[in-house]
Amino acid sequence: MSGPNRQRSPTETAMISAGSSMAPRTHNLTAFHTNSIPEQERVVGRTKAGNIELTGTALPSTAHLARVQIHQDGQELPIYRRSVPCGTVTEHGLYFVAFSADRPRYDRMLVRMFGATEDGVHDHLTDFSRPVSGACYFAPSLSALNDLAGPEDE
Residues 51-65 have pLDDT tens digits of 999 999 999 999 999
Domains in the chain: boundaries = 11-132
The rounded percent of the chain whose pLDDT value lies above 70 is 84
How would you write 26-47 as a 3-class SS string? EECHHHHCCCCHHHHHHHHCEC
| The pLDDT of residue 32 | 87
pLDDT at 154 over 50: yes
86-141 residue pLDDT tens: 888 777 777 888 888 777 888 888 899 999 999 999 999 999 887 766 677 778 87
The rounded percent of the chain whose pLDDT value lies above 90 is 36
pTM: 0.73
| The pLDDT of residue 3 | 43
With vertex at residue 27, the alpha carbon angle to CA 137 and CA 136, rounded to the nearest 5 degrees, is 10
CB 17 within 8 A of CB 143: yes
